[in-house]
Copies of this chain bind each other. A is one copy, B any other.
Amino acid sequence: MNISVVENVLKLNDELAAVNRGKLKDHRIYTVNLIGAPGCGKTSLLESTATLLKNKLRLAIIVGDLTTQRDADRMALYCNHVVQVNTGKGCHLEANHVRTAMERLPLKEIDLLIIENVGNLICPVGFDLGQDVKVGMFSAAEGDDKAAKHPYIVQEAGLLLLNKMDLLPYVNFRQEIFRADIHRINPKVDILDISATRGDNMAAWTNWLCARAAKSATQ
């Protein structure tokens, strides 16, 4: 009985995700589902991303948190279209959250939608939101064992970001271990070493987004 309920929840989620995906495709919006642990730097990344994409792409952001409006307030300084979703005790975003949030966005005026999921490396991975790609985010401050301990996001990600490279001199993080674990779990995925605050590889990241959004716009 328990299993059938879980299956029904996931089935309903998949149906709503398909509706989201269709709507986003109709509007030629490229959509990223950004997943990482609390404090890996998702919001700082999006602040910097919004600044760099200004006059290049029309960006919208949906941001999930248990509670508070803080992330949306931070990002509203950099991005015109920000919707905060509060999940209460919910540990991940579901397609229905995104569907509701999309109703508050002017879809005709958007090229790129980034969904910042709830800070959690586990539960968000299993819920399709209608995105084109999942981007997994780690931080050098978290330790070099986190890819091995969280293989599902590594398996499903179209790109992995390793943030807080500015802290590398002050922490015990062996990059060769981190990369070897990732290549064992998902040999095809690219890894981008970034620092959202210092700017490392932020051009590579925004170029990656622009290239995909451009492709999406012509399809």
Residue from B39, B68, B146, B170 within 8 A of A139 (CB atoms): B39
Measured between C-beta atoms, what is the minimum distance from A217 to chain B in Å?
34
Q: How large is the interface on A (under 10, 10 to 19, 20 to 34, 35 or more residues)?
A: 35 or more
Measured between C-beta atoms, what is the minimum distance from A99 to chain B in Å?
19
Determine if A149 and B65 form an interchain contact, defined as CB atoms under 8 angstroms apart.
Answer: yes
Contact with B along A1-37 (1 / 0, CB 8 A): 1100100110000000000000000000000000001
Determine if B123 and A123 form an interchain contact, defined as CB atoms under 8 angstroms apart.
Answer: yes
CA distance A118 to B66 in the complex (A): 19
Contact with B along A149-191 (1 / 0, CB 8 A): 1111000000000001011001110000000000000000000
With A38-B121, A119-B149 given, can you name 4 additional A-B contacts, CB distance below 8 Å?
A: A38-B142, A70-B149, A91-B91, A91-B120
Pairs across A and B, CB under 8 Å, 10 listed: A37-B37, A39-B40, A39-B143, A66-B149, A66-B151, A68-B148, A68-B149, A70-B148, A119-B121, A120-B122
